[in-house]
């Protein structure tokens, strides 16, 4: 997707989602209080550090030992709905305008997570991280990190306006119907990734067969 096309879409989304942003902010303030948002350090394009904003959807409730309670116990029914509909991600539209993020692309990760991927992680971060991505509409939380990485690498190699529009459409479907694994997409990404691996030299294959 060209930058001008992306900006047109984002400005339109900023206008269309304004009522949802205001409603979300009001509900979260009423149920959780301040601060309304928080910013997470993540890795952007080319390994550059960025801050990714989100609406805060968890309380600071702690147990008798002073430790934060499990995530599920720190959510309210309202914040659970906000997370399921992905309304907590809407503040990231501003970062797309700033150029730190893209409308579609691999989701921004922690530096430690990305470093653990090695060379594939470098390829993954060769594009701007997105508000939504191929892995997010193909299973998201129902996928392992390795499965998400395969889908992200497939996207980086095949990205196009048509694919981006498909992902945006599917994102709406996920928000309305919930997440489900797309085995066909995952299998295609894994098969493609396997084909990218360099074949072993004939002498190594022969040595392996004789051992």
- Angle 110-116-122 from CA coordinates, rounded to 5°: 80
Is residue 209 situated within a structural domain? no
pLDDT values of the chain reduced to their tens digit, one per residue, 211 residues: 889 999 999 999 999 999 999 999 999 999 888 999 999 999 999 999 999 999 999 888 888 887 888 877 888 888 889 988 899 999 999 999 999 999 999 999 999 999 999 999 999 999 999 999 999 999 999 999 999 999 999 999 999 999 999 999 999 999 888 899 999 999 999 999 999 876 545 544 434 444 3
Q: Tell me what pLDDT residue 209 has.
A: 42
Enter the pTM of the model. Answer: 0.84
Q: Give domain status of residue 202, yes or no.
A: no
SS3 string of the chain?
Answer: CCHHHHHHHHHHHHHHCHHHHHHHHHHHHHHHCCCCEEEEEEECHHHCEEEEEEECCCCCCECCCCCECCHHHHCCHHHHHHHHCCHHHHHHHHHHHHCCCEEECCCCECHHHHHHCCHHHHHHCCCCCEEECCCCCCCHHHCCHHHHHHHHHHHHHHCCHHHHHHHHHHHHHHHHHCCCCCHHHHHHHHHHHHHHCCCCCHHHHHHHHHC
Residue 42 located in a structural domain: yes
- Provide the domain count of the chain: 1
Q: Where is 43: in which H helix or E strand? A: strand 37-43
Q: With respect to residue 201, please indicate whether it lies within any of the assigned structural domains.
A: no
| Residues linked to residue 62 through DSSP beta bridges, in sequence order | 68
Question: Does 13 fall in a domain?
Answer: yes
**Residue at 203 is within a domain:** no
pLDDT of res. 199? 52
Question: Do the bridges between strand 102-104 and strand 130-132 make them parallel or antiparallel, or are there none, so unpaired?
Answer: parallel
Q: Which residues pair with 24 in a beta bridge?
A: none
Can you tell me which residue has the tokens 């030992």? 65
Q: Identify whether 134 is part of a domain.
A: yes
Question: Is there a domain that residue 48 lies in?
Answer: yes
Domain that holds residue 75: 3-196
Q: What is the pLDDT of residue 198?
A: 65
How confident is the model at residue 151, as a pLDDT?
A: 98
């Amino acid at each position: 997707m060209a930058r001008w096309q992306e900006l047109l879409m984002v400005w339109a989304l900023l206008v269309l989602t304004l009522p949802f942003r205001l409603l979300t902010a009001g509900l979260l303030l009423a149920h959780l209080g301040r601060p309304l948002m928080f910013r997470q350090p993540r890795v952007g394009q080319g390994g550059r550090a960025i801050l990714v904003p989100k609406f805060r959807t968890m309380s600071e409730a702690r147990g008798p030992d002073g430790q934060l309670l499990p995530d599920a116990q720190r959510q309210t029914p309202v914040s659970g709905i906000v997370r399921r509909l992905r309304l907590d991600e809407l503040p990231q539209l501003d970062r797309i305008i700033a150029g730190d993020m893209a409308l579609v692309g691999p989701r921004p990760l922690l530096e430690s997570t990305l470093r653990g991927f090695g060379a594939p992680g470098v390829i993954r971060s060769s594009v701007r991280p997105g508000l939504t991505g191929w892995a997010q509409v193909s299973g998201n939380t129902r996928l392992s990190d390795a499965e998400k990485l395969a889908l992200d690498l497939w996207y980086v190699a095949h990205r196009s306006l048509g694919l981006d529009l498909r992902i945006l459409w599917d994102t709406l479907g996920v928000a309305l119907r919930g997440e489900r694994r797309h085995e066909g997409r995952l299998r295609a990404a894994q098969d493609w990734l396997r084909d990218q691996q360099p074949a072993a030299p004939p002498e190594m294959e022969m040595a392996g067969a004789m051992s």
